[in-house]
């Protein structure tokens, strides 16, 4: 969590190790009380640059030219180019004009195995057991072409839900996953708890006796020691936050070392009312705290904003159900409906775009925790709609999975290359909608102006709102990616791509920037 001043020792560790090891490792070894995002922000504030990745040497280029197209990219990276990422290898290969070897046509036996097992066992197991000569990307791509449908995690059983209801909030999510729900990811557990209306355990109110402990000791010993010796039922972040509320949080002196500050009883009294009325913990606010690094006040503001939007828009009939009950697919359509509501627009302006920004963060959260996009029912509605001609219906459905006429028009427009990396292998390219498919009309779903041709990694970043483009085709990067990952991706703020932007396309990009991009 943000808010606690950096100590002299922390700053020294940051300057010594930043950029020389992954932030995750830096945090684990030297800065356990800092989030990865706060580490990135502090490094940026101090002007500490990441170690620049060295230029490709002759030996690396020879290995790339010798083995590219002969073995898988993953094997090439692991065996011959361990200091390069897969994306860096693909980018350099494209720069050198290298192409991957064309995969052999699928046999009847392979297609039969795919139809029999796809979605019923993990793709990794499907490849290992039945399709050893195919990559996982090729397996997914062929399944889409055959209309088999995307793989889904098994449905939650009654027993799974009972376990979740029994243990959620009583033990950590990691422990719950490891001991009771090993076939679920932690994100899936948080998502399911959200759908069931479960909340994390509410921390008990601070007593007078509790408050006396940080008032006497904060600044003399570390929050970790305070927790271990006196407050075992509080987290270190909770102790730090309470110290700020009580007015005893350490302040930075001229030396940069923490100095003790006298308690301010009035400060504690002023904030007690605020604490008694703050939002109850929920998966969205928990996720904001763990992943975004917002202050406690910002978390409450954003969580309450989403709740207020959901309640008002549902009561008014702008949306058919509360936001918290929606799938990612439904939310994209709901956002489109909400931003066109006059009451929302007025309130959003009055609150200086708070509501819009809260919706962006909620979309990012929901996409992160959800196992399924939730588009199946809507797709069936289109399939059963007799008002849409069959050829158009097929094109619309295919455009949802980046296939058919929509994909072909984008390949033609961009000469079969990713607009960012220049990668030209068809299996690695995704036809991505700028304005989400769910929020688009049937005409917009098929419009080449509403699409970009991206390699898979960058499609994911664009879809999640972590990258976007301005009206000139210059890339805009979200702070959520992190400086280290930006370097690994070979990106830089303002890097320009030839998007061939016209008036229609600029309107779609404007929608993406305003409603989906997470700053």
Number of H helices, E strands in the chain: 28, 6
For the whole prediction, is pTM greater than 0.85?
Answer: no
Half-sphere exposure of 216 (CA within 13 A, CB side): 8
Please check the confidence at residue 377 and state whether its pLDDT lies above 70: no
Please check the confidence at residue 128 and state whether its pLDDT lies above 90: no
Average pLDDT along the chain: 77
pLDDT of residue 241: 66
Cα–Cα distance, 403 to 414 (Å, whole number): 15
Note whether residue 456 is domain-resident.
Answer: yes
What average pLDDT does this structure show over 120-130? 81
Cα–Cα distance, 127 to 122 (Å, whole number): 9
What average pLDDT does this structure show over 20-42? 77
Q: Are residues 390 and 504 in the same domain?
A: yes
Q: pLDDT, tens digit, for every residue of 458-477?
A: 998 999 899 999 999 999 99
In 3D space, the residue among 341, 450, 359 whose CA is nearest the CA of residue 402 turns out to be 450
Note whether residue 125 is domain-resident.
Answer: yes
Q: Are residues 320 and 269 in the same domain?
A: no
Q: Are residues 289 and 321 in the same domain?
A: yes
pLDDT of residue 504: 92
- 3-class DSSP assignment, residue 273: helix
Q: Are residues 142 and 240 in the same domain?
A: no
Q: Are residues 287 and 272 in the same domain?
A: no
- The percentage of residues in the chain with a pLDDT greater than 70, rounded to a whole number, is 74
Q: Which residues contact 508 (CB under 8 A, 6 or more apart)?
A: 434, 435, 444, 449, 450
In 3D space, the residue among 362, 345, 361 whose CA is nearest the CA of residue 353 turns out to be 345
Structure-token pair, residue 191: 């998502």
Q: Are residues 491 and 398 in the same domain?
A: yes
φ, ψ for residue 111, nearest 5 deg: -65, -40
Higher pLDDT, 460 or 50: 460
pLDDT of residue 434: 94
Note whether residue 102 is domain-resident.
Answer: no
Q: Are residues 395 and 346 in the same domain?
A: no
In 3D space, the residue among 197, 201, 199, 177 whose CA is nearest the CA of residue 188 turns out to be 177
Q: Are residues 383 and 365 in the same domain?
A: no
In 3D space, the residue among 274, 269, 335, 327 whose CA is nearest the CA of residue 306 turns out to be 335
Q: pLDDT, tens digit, for every residue of 380-395?
A: 665 665 666 666 656 6
Please check the confidence at residue 359 and state whether its pLDDT lies above 70: yes
Note whether residue 52 is domain-resident.
Answer: no
pLDDT of residue 367: 80
Candidate from 27-36, 144-153, 279-288, 356-365 with smallest mean pLDDT? 144-153
Residue 2 pLDDT level (bands cut at 50, 70, 90): very low
Cα–Cα distance, 344 to 16 (Å, whole number): 48
Q: Are residues 493 and 436 in the same domain?
A: yes
Higher pLDDT, 144 or 122: 122
Q: Are residues 241 and 297 in the same domain?
A: no
What average pLDDT does this structure show over 245-274? 41
Number of domains forming the structure of the chain? 7
In 3D space, the residue among 148, 179, 185, 147 whose CA is nearest the CA of residue 163 turns out to be 179
What average pLDDT does this structure show over 294-311? 83
Q: Are residues 288 and 271 in the same domain?
A: no
Note whether residue 269 is domain-resident.
Answer: yes
Higher pLDDT, 428 or 104: 428
**Enclosing domain of residue 71:** 58-95
Q: How far out from the chain centre does Cα 379 lie?
A: 25
Note whether residue 51 is domain-resident.
Answer: no
Q: Are residues 385 and 333 in the same domain?
A: no
- Most confident of the following: 109-123, 244-258, 485-499: 485-499
pLDDT of residue 263: 40
Residue 261 pLDDT level (bands cut at 50, 70, 90): very low
Question: Domain boundary at 221, 256, 277, which?
Answer: 277
Report the sign of the C-alpha dihedral through residues 323, 325, 327, 333, in that order: negative
Candidate from 2-11, 293-302, 350-359, 381-390 with smallest mean pLDDT? 381-390
Residue with tokens 């989906």: 516
Asked if residues 321 and 314 have their Cβ atoms less than 8 Å apart, the reply is yes
pLDDT of residue 509: 93
Cα–Cα distance, 171 to 174 (Å, whole number): 8
pLDDT of residue 387: 65
Asked if residues 114 and 145 have their Cβ atoms less than 8 Å apart, the reply is no
Q: pLDDT, tens digit, for every residue of 146-174?
A: 766 544 556 788 888 888 888 887 777 77
């Amino acid at each position: 969590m943000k808010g606690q001043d950096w100590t002299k020792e922390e700053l020294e560790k940051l300057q010594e190790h930043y950029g020389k090891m992954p932030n995750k490792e830096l945090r684990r070894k030297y800065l356990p009380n800092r989030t990865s995002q706060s580490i990135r922000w502090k490094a940026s504030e101090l002007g500490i640059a990441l170690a620049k990745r060295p230029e490709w040497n002759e030996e690396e280029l020879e290995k790339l030219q010798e083995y590219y197209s002969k073995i898988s990219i993953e094997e090439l990276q692991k065996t011959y180019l361990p200091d390069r990422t897969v994306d860096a290898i693909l980018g350099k290969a494209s720069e050198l004009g290298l192409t991957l070897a064309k995969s052999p046509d699928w046999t009847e036996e392979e297609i039969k195995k795919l139809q029999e097992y796809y979605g019923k066992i993990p793709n990794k197991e499907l490849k290992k057991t039945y399709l050893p000569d195919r990559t996982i990307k090729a397996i997914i791509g062929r399944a889409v072409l055959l209309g088999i449908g995307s793989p889904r995690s098994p449905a939650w059983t009654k027993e799974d839900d009972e376990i979740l209801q029994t243990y959620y909030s009583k033990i950590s999510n990691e422990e719950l996953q490891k001991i009771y729900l090993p076939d679920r990811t932690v994100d899936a557990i948080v998502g399911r708890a959200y759908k069931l209306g479960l909340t994390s355990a509410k921390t008990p109110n601070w007593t007078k006796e509790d408050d006396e402990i940080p008032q006497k000791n904060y600044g003399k010993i570390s929050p970790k020691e305070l927790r271990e010796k006196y407050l075992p039922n509080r987290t270190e972040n909770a102790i730090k936050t309470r110290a700020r509320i009580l007015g005893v949080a350490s302040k930075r002196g001229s030396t940069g070392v923490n100095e003790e500050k006298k308690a301010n009883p009035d400060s504690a009294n002023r904030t007690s009312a605020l604490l008694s009325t703050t939002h109850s913990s929920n998966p969205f606010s928990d996720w904001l705290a763990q992943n975004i690094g917002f202050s406690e006040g910002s978390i409450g503001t954003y969580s309450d904003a989403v709740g207020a939007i959901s309640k008002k828009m549902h009561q008014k009939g702008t949306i058919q159900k509360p936001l918290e009950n929606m799938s990612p697919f439904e939310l994209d359509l709901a956002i489109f409906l909400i931003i066109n509501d006059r009451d929302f627009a007025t309130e959003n302006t009055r609150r200086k775009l708070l509501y819009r920004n809260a919706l962006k963060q909620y979309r990012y959260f929901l996409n992160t925790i959800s196992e399924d996009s939730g588009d199946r029912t809507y797709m069936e509605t289109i399939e059963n709609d007799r008002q849409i001609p069959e050829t158009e219906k097929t094109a619309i459905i295919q455009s949802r999975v980046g296939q058919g006429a929509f994909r072909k028009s984008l390949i033609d427009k961009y000469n079969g290359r990713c607009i960012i990396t220049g990668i030209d292998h068809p299996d690695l390219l995704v036809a991505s909608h700028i304005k989400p498919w769910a929020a688009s009309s049937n005409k917009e779903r098929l419009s080449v102006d509403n699409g970009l041709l991206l390699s898979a990694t960058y499609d994911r970043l664009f879809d999640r709102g972590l990258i976007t483009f301005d009206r000139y085709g210059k890339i805009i990067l979200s702070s959520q990616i992190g400086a280290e990952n930006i370097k690994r991706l070979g990106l830089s703020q303002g890097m320009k791509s030839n998007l061939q932007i016209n008036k229609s396309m600029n309107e779609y990009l404007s929608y993406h920037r305003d409603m989906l991009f997470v700053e």
